[in-house]
Amino acid sequence: MFDWNDLKYFLAVARHGSTIAAGKALGLSQSTVHRRLEELERRLGRALVTRQPSGYRLTEFGQIMLPYAERIEVTGDPRFDSALQRARAIQPTDPLVALGRGAPTLVAGSTWSEDERVLLPAYGAVRAARPEVRLIIVPHEPTPDHLASLDAIAVQCGLEAPRRVSASAPRSEANASASWISMPLASANVSPAAKQSPAP
């Protein structure tokens, strides 16, 4: 899994044509931009740019990723501290932890259909380069209509049908917030108790 914040370094280099100019635009050193861009490429397993005498040029993969990266805005969240505290409280034996084992895994929480229309095509592009990467989506409102929309978006993107991890338990208004969607299929046996997600 890569740090989504590193997309800003890729975008800056794509827009300014060099790590020096990107660094100036970001108010950072050239070496920081270069290091973070290399780390992003390492985690993706593909080169995003090539260096030429006239500056950096996007690779074919970089050209594919650029429009998706431009549509993903990484912003600060005032609830970050609360989310971090909850994450640190999760026990290693929690069944949901198993979903992230064995492969790079991205978790997108509290998503809306608008988010998924951006996220799933980008995920499809990443999967083309790294087939082992998994995505877990936790919809903000997992209503039947929202889940049907999610299925449709996945099909349009040529992705496997999402697996509803909470499907092992009867659905009700009480456990509606427990819908976790995993793509591609991840082997996990999640108990009803483990699926309850904390209120935002």
Q: List phi, psi (to 5°) of 163.
A: -100, 125
99 neighbors 136 (Cβ within 8 angstroms) = yes
Residues 6+ apart with CB under 8 A from 77: 83
Tens digits of pLDDT across the chain (200 residues): 566 778 889 999 999 999 999 999 999 999 999 999 999 999 888 999 999 888 899 999 999 988 888 877 544 444 555 566 666 777 777 766 666 677 788 888 888 888 889 999 999 888 888 888 888 888 888 888 888 888 888 888 888 878 776 533 443 333 333 344 555 533 233 333 333 333 34
Q: What is the pLDDT of residue 60?
A: 93
SS3 94: coil
Q: What is the pLDDT of residue 100?
A: 66
- CA angle (50, 55, 56) in 5-degree steps: 30
Residues 6+ apart with CB under 8 A from 195: 96, 165, 166, 169, 175, 178, 180
Cα separation, 137 vs 97, whole angstroms: 14
Which domains does the chain show, CATH number per domain? Answer: 4-71 (1.10.10.10), 80-195 (no CATH)
- CA angle (74, 100, 161) in 5-degree steps: 85
Q: What is the pLDDT of residue 84?
A: 62
Q: What is the pLDDT of residue 139?
A: 84
Q: List phi, psi (to 5°) of 108.
A: -115, 115
Residue 38: burial class (beta carbons within 10 Å; 0-12, 13-18, 19+): middle
Q: What is the pLDDT of residue 82?
A: 59
- Other C-beta atoms lying within 10 Å of the C-beta of residue 117: 15
Beta strands in 46-173 (DSSP E): 49-52, 55-58, 105-111, 134-139, 163-164
- Name the pTM for this structure: 0.43
